[in-house]
């Protein structure tokens, strides 16, 4: 009646193909790089824009152009992108959790899974606290015990010590013969890495005392341990070869802690702590042992032990005073 008759133009099919290509390419390149929230907003804007253009052409020029195919394509692209992103993210979280479950406590793994981007395996430089714990007299025991008995004993000791380390949010680096190496502050960062390391050392000494009581009751040989603790800047991350890799730490601070663990036997202490760790863990009672210049160091380092950390505190006091 008003002279306006809606018309489906001859080029409707070509227009539909062009819109599908433009819209599809835009969504294909934009959605994978956008966060989930922005991807939702962007998809809604694209669908709304296509609908607005179609409506405008219909009202202003009476052109009837296909719209359903564009809407279906945009909705499908959005759904596929969200589904794929969810699957990839879930797989990434599972892989990360499986990888670190053998290194760190489960609760720490849960924190990493919540934000995997912030706790990657890429090597970085951080200030961490490192521990070396060595079992004393292991060589002698290995000469007098059957291999199966020695294996059972070693597994029991490692299990007790590892439980203490993991309970205090420590990361197991490796087992070296009868030695356990662990560190605090990575992969999940914490400002209490020094205090957690000292607390762990004290609890490990108590765990050995309890284990020795069980050994005496069972007629098994008693054990003793020496622990070295040091804090410093080191490189931490995924390192190794193409065949085998590990999440570990390297640096001068790591070399120093191995020297401190060796000094624990010389000074008759279960635990020897460097001045660097002691300065960051003020919540403990400390007594200075000595100032030593270990191999590879140009300057002397003050070393300490915690009075509560020894299995034979009175004997250590007498040794230090003498």
Q: Where are the domains of the chain?
A: 12-100, 120-321
Q: Are the CB atoms for 196 and 169 separated by under 8 Å?
A: yes
Choose from 24-33, 73-82, 224-233 the range with maximum mean pLDDT: 224-233
Largest pairwise CA distance in the chain:
116
User: Of the ranges 243-247, 258-262, 311-315, which one carries the lowest mean pLDDT score?
Assistant: 311-315
For the entire predicted model, the pTM comes to 0.64
> What residues are paired with 175 via a beta bridge?
180
pLDDT in tens, 36-73: 788 888 888 888 888 888 888 888 778 888 888 888 88
CA separation for the pair 295, 316 (Å, rounded): 24
CA separation for the pair 263, 125 (Å, rounded): 27
DSSP string for 215-247: HHHHTPPP-EEEEEEEEEEEEEEEEE-SS-EEE
Residue 266: in which H helix or E strand, if any?
A: helix 252-266
DSSP string for 122-145: S-EEEEEEEEEEEEETHHHHHHHS
Looking at residue 73, its pLDDT comes to 83
Q: Which CATH architecture has domain 120-321?
A: 2-Layer Sandwich (3.30)
Q: Are the CB atoms for 137 and 212 separated by under 8 Å?
A: no
Residue 276: in which H helix or E strand, if any?
A: helix 275-280
User: Of the ranges 149-163, 248-262, 300-314, which one carries the lowest mean pLDDT score?
Assistant: 300-314
């Amino acid at each position: 009646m008003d002279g306006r008759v809606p018309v489906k133009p001859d080029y409707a099919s070509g227009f539909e193909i062009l819109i599908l290509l433009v819209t599809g390419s835009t969504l294909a390149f934009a959605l994978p790089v956008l966060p989930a929230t922005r991807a939702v907003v962007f998809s809604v804007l694209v669908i709304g824009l296509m609908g607005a253009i179609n409506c405008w052409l219909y009202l202003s020029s009476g052109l009837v152009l296909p719209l359903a195919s564009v809407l279906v394509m945009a909705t499908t692209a959005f759904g596929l992108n969200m589904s794929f992103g969810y699957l990839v993210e879930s797989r990434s979280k599972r892989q990360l959790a499986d990888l670190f479950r053998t290194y760190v406590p489960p609760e720490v793994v849960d924190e990493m899974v919540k934000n995997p981007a912030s706790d990657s395996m890429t090597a970085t430089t951080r200030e961490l606290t490192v521990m070396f714990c060595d079992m004393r007299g292991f060589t002698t025991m290995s000469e007098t015990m059957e291999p199966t008995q020695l294996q059972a004993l070693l597994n029991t000791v490692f299990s007790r010590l590892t439980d203490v380390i993991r309970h205090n949010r420590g990361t197991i680096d490796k087992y070296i013969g009868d030695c356990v190496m662990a560190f605090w502050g990575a992969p999940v960062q914490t400002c209490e890495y020094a205090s957690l390391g000292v607390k762990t050392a004290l609890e490990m000494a108590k765990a050995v005392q309890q284990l020795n009581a069980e050994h005496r009751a069972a007629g098994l040989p008693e054990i003793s341990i020496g622990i070295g603790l040091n804090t410093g800047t080191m490189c931490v991350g995924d390192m190794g070869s193409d065949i085998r890799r590990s999440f570990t730490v390297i640096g001068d601070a790591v070399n120093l802690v191995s020297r401190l663990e060796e000094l624990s036997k010389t000074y008759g202490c279960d635990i020897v702590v460097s001045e660097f760790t002691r300065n960051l863990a003020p919540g403990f009672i400390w007594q200075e042992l000595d100032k030593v210049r270990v191999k590879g160091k140009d300057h002397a380092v003050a070393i300490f032990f915690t009075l509560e950390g020894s299995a034979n505190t009175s004997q250590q006091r007498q040794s230090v005073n003498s």
